[in-house]
Structure 1
Amino acid sequence: MTEKVTLLVPRLLQPLVGNSSELHLDVGDGATVAQLLDAIAAEYPVFGRRVRDETGALRRFVNIYLDGEDLRRLDGLNARVAAGQELMVIQSVAGG
Protein backbone atom coordinates (compact mmCIF):
# COMPACT_ATOMS: atom_id res chain seq x y z
CA MET A 1 0.00 0.00 0.00
CA THR A 2 1.39 3.38 -1.01
CA GLU A 3 1.71 6.22 1.45
CA LYS A 4 2.50 8.77 -1.22
CA VAL A 5 0.63 11.48 -3.06
CA THR A 6 1.49 12.69 -6.53
CA LEU A 7 2.06 16.38 -7.23
CA LEU A 8 1.75 17.23 -10.91
CA VAL A 9 4.09 20.10 -11.78
CA PRO A 10 3.29 22.45 -14.69
CA ARG A 11 5.90 22.72 -17.44
CA LEU A 12 6.74 26.31 -16.44
CA LEU A 13 7.78 25.19 -12.94
CA GLN A 14 9.46 21.90 -13.85
CA PRO A 15 12.97 23.41 -14.13
CA LEU A 16 12.64 24.41 -10.46
CA VAL A 17 12.14 20.78 -9.34
CA GLY A 18 14.85 19.02 -11.33
CA ASN A 19 12.78 19.00 -14.57
CA SER A 20 10.27 16.59 -13.06
CA SER A 21 6.65 16.61 -14.19
CA GLU A 22 5.62 14.72 -11.05
CA LEU A 23 6.79 14.65 -7.46
CA HIS A 24 5.86 11.75 -5.19
CA LEU A 25 5.52 12.82 -1.59
CA ASP A 26 5.27 10.61 1.48
CA VAL A 27 2.23 11.52 3.59
CA GLY A 28 2.21 8.68 6.08
CA ASP A 29 -1.15 8.90 7.85
CA GLY A 30 -2.01 12.13 6.04
CA ALA A 31 -0.76 15.70 5.82
CA THR A 32 -2.08 19.12 4.94
CA VAL A 33 -1.34 20.76 1.60
CA ALA A 34 0.68 23.39 3.50
CA GLN A 35 2.86 20.67 5.06
CA LEU A 36 3.50 19.12 1.65
CA LEU A 37 4.39 22.51 0.15
CA ASP A 38 6.74 23.14 3.09
CA ALA A 39 8.48 19.83 2.40
CA ILE A 40 8.87 20.66 -1.29
CA ALA A 41 10.11 24.19 -0.51
CA ALA A 42 12.75 22.76 1.83
CA GLU A 43 14.25 20.88 -1.12
CA TYR A 44 13.30 23.33 -3.89
CA PRO A 45 13.14 26.83 -2.33
CA VAL A 46 12.57 28.70 -5.61
CA PHE A 47 9.55 26.51 -6.35
CA GLY A 48 8.23 27.32 -2.88
CA ARG A 49 8.58 31.07 -3.50
CA ARG A 50 6.82 30.81 -6.88
CA VAL A 51 3.83 28.99 -5.39
CA ARG A 52 3.41 30.85 -2.08
CA ASP A 53 4.07 34.39 -0.93
CA GLU A 54 6.08 35.47 2.11
CA THR A 55 3.05 34.95 4.38
CA GLY A 56 2.66 31.34 3.20
CA ALA A 57 -0.53 32.02 1.21
CA LEU A 58 -0.94 30.75 -2.34
CA ARG A 59 0.10 33.35 -4.85
CA ARG A 60 -2.74 35.04 -6.69
CA PHE A 61 -2.11 33.29 -10.01
CA VAL A 62 -1.47 29.82 -8.60
CA ASN A 63 -4.25 27.27 -8.29
CA ILE A 64 -3.95 23.85 -6.73
CA TYR A 65 -6.42 21.04 -7.30
CA LEU A 66 -6.82 18.03 -5.04
CA ASP A 67 -8.24 15.14 -7.06
CA GLY A 68 -9.72 17.71 -9.47
CA GLU A 69 -11.30 19.91 -6.78
CA ASP A 70 -10.09 23.52 -6.42
CA LEU A 71 -8.26 23.82 -3.11
CA ARG A 72 -9.95 27.16 -2.48
CA ARG A 73 -13.31 25.36 -2.42
CA LEU A 74 -11.99 22.87 0.11
CA ASP A 75 -10.13 23.89 3.25
CA GLY A 76 -7.40 25.79 1.41
CA LEU A 77 -3.87 24.98 2.46
CA ASN A 78 -5.28 23.22 5.53
CA ALA A 79 -6.97 20.60 3.34
CA ARG A 80 -5.90 17.10 4.36
CA VAL A 81 -4.26 14.91 1.75
CA ALA A 82 -4.26 11.14 2.03
CA ALA A 83 -2.09 8.54 0.33
CA GLY A 84 -3.09 7.89 -3.26
CA GLN A 85 -4.50 11.35 -3.90
CA GLU A 86 -3.24 13.68 -6.61
CA LEU A 87 -2.41 17.37 -6.37
CA MET A 88 -2.12 19.45 -9.52
CA VAL A 89 -0.51 22.90 -9.58
CA ILE A 90 -1.73 25.31 -12.24
CA GLN A 91 0.13 28.58 -12.69
CA SER A 92 -1.70 31.16 -14.77
CA VAL A 93 0.44 33.01 -17.26
CA ALA A 94 -0.35 36.68 -17.79
CA GLY A 95 0.91 38.66 -20.71
CA GLY A 96 0.16 41.61 -22.83
Structure 2
Amino acid sequence: MSVSVRIPTILRTYTDGASEVTVEPAEDTLTSVLDALEAAAPGIKARVLDDEGKLRRFVNVYADDEDVRFVGGLDTPTPAGTKVSIIPAVAGG
Protein backbone atom coordinates (compact mmCIF):
# COMPACT_ATOMS: atom_id res chain seq x y z
CA MET A 1 0.00 0.00 0.00
CA SER A 2 1.72 3.15 -1.18
CA VAL A 3 1.19 6.66 0.05
CA SER A 4 2.67 9.72 -1.66
CA VAL A 5 4.11 12.49 0.48
CA ARG A 6 4.61 15.94 -1.02
CA ILE A 7 7.72 17.56 0.41
CA PRO A 8 8.06 21.36 0.69
CA THR A 9 11.18 22.99 -0.71
CA ILE A 10 12.61 23.70 2.74
CA LEU A 11 12.64 19.97 3.63
CA ARG A 12 13.94 18.62 0.32
CA THR A 13 17.49 18.46 1.66
CA TYR A 14 16.29 15.34 3.49
CA THR A 15 14.92 13.79 0.29
CA ASP A 16 17.87 14.54 -2.03
CA GLY A 17 15.78 17.23 -3.68
CA ALA A 18 12.72 15.09 -4.36
CA SER A 19 9.44 17.01 -4.23
CA GLU A 20 7.44 13.83 -3.66
CA VAL A 21 8.31 10.59 -1.90
CA THR A 22 6.32 7.37 -2.08
CA VAL A 23 6.38 5.31 1.11
CA GLU A 24 5.01 1.95 2.19
CA PRO A 25 3.63 2.48 5.73
CA ALA A 26 3.07 -0.52 7.97
CA GLU A 27 -0.41 0.73 8.93
CA ASP A 28 -3.08 3.02 7.50
CA THR A 29 -2.34 5.98 9.79
CA LEU A 30 -0.47 9.24 9.45
CA THR A 31 1.88 8.13 12.24
CA SER A 32 2.89 5.12 10.18
CA VAL A 33 3.34 7.29 7.07
CA LEU A 34 5.67 9.61 9.01
CA ASP A 35 7.61 6.60 10.34
CA ALA A 36 8.05 5.28 6.79
CA LEU A 37 9.05 8.75 5.61
CA GLU A 38 11.64 8.95 8.38
CA ALA A 39 13.07 5.59 7.25
CA ALA A 40 13.36 6.92 3.69
CA ALA A 41 14.57 10.40 4.68
CA PRO A 42 16.28 10.32 8.10
CA GLY A 43 15.82 13.49 10.12
CA ILE A 44 12.69 14.74 8.39
CA LYS A 45 10.26 13.56 11.07
CA ALA A 46 11.84 15.88 13.67
CA ARG A 47 11.00 18.81 11.38
CA VAL A 48 7.32 17.79 11.31
CA LEU A 49 6.83 16.67 14.93
CA ASP A 50 7.91 18.44 18.10
CA ASP A 51 9.77 16.91 21.08
CA GLU A 52 6.47 15.62 22.49
CA GLY A 53 5.65 13.78 19.25
CA LYS A 54 2.89 16.21 18.24
CA LEU A 55 2.59 18.09 14.97
CA ARG A 56 4.66 21.24 15.08
CA ARG A 57 2.55 24.34 15.47
CA PHE A 58 3.71 25.97 12.24
CA VAL A 59 3.61 22.89 10.03
CA ASN A 60 0.35 21.96 8.33
CA VAL A 61 -0.23 18.40 7.17
CA TYR A 62 -2.99 17.36 4.81
CA ALA A 63 -4.22 13.87 3.96
CA ASP A 64 -5.66 14.34 0.48
CA ASP A 65 -7.37 17.72 0.94
CA GLU A 66 -8.18 17.41 4.65
CA ASP A 67 -6.21 19.21 7.38
CA VAL A 68 -5.25 16.35 9.70
CA ARG A 69 -5.72 18.55 12.78
CA PHE A 70 -9.47 18.45 12.09
CA VAL A 71 -9.71 14.83 10.97
CA GLY A 72 -7.79 12.70 13.46
CA GLY A 73 -4.36 14.17 14.00
CA LEU A 74 -1.63 11.56 13.83
CA ASP A 75 -4.32 8.86 13.78
CA THR A 76 -5.77 10.20 10.52
CA PRO A 77 -6.51 7.27 8.18
CA THR A 78 -4.15 7.07 5.21
CA PRO A 79 -5.25 4.15 3.04
CA ALA A 80 -3.34 3.20 -0.09
CA GLY A 81 -3.33 5.99 -2.63
CA THR A 82 -3.58 8.80 -0.08
CA LYS A 83 -1.62 11.93 -0.92
CA VAL A 84 -0.07 13.54 2.15
CA SER A 85 1.15 17.12 1.89
CA ILE A 86 3.51 18.77 4.37
CA ILE A 87 3.13 22.54 4.23
CA PRO A 88 5.08 24.89 6.47
CA ALA A 89 3.17 27.97 7.54
CA VAL A 90 4.32 31.19 5.92
CA ALA A 91 4.37 34.46 7.81
CA GLY A 92 4.58 37.85 6.30
CA GLY A 93 3.03 41.18 6.18
Q: TM-score, normalised by structure 1?
A: 0.85
1:32 to 22, 29, 34: 29
Q: 2:6: which partner in 1?
A: 8
Deviates more, 1:79-88 or 1:44-53: 44-53
Question: Aligned with 1:80: secondary structure?
Answer: coil
Q: Which runs of 4+ in 1 moved over 3 A?
A: 93-96
Structure 2 counterpart of 1:84? 81
Question: Runs of 5+ in structure 1 lacking a partner?
Answer: none
Distance in 1 between the 2:90 and 2:42 partners? 21
Residue 55 in 1 paired to residue 62 in 2?
Answer: no
Specify every segment of 5 or more residues in structure 2 that has no aligned partner in the other structure, as ranges.
none
Tell me the equivalent position of 2:17. 19
For 1:64, the equivalent position in structure 2 comes to 61
Question: Measured at CA, do residues 48 and 27 of structure 1 come closer, stay the same or move farther in structure 2, by a change above 3 Å?
Answer: closer
> What's the offset of the Cα at 1:95?
6.4
The residue identity in structure 2 corresponding to 1:92 is A
Note if 1:44 corresponds to 2:78: no
Provide the secondary structure at the position in 1 that maps to 2:37: helix
Alignment RMSD, CA only? 1.8
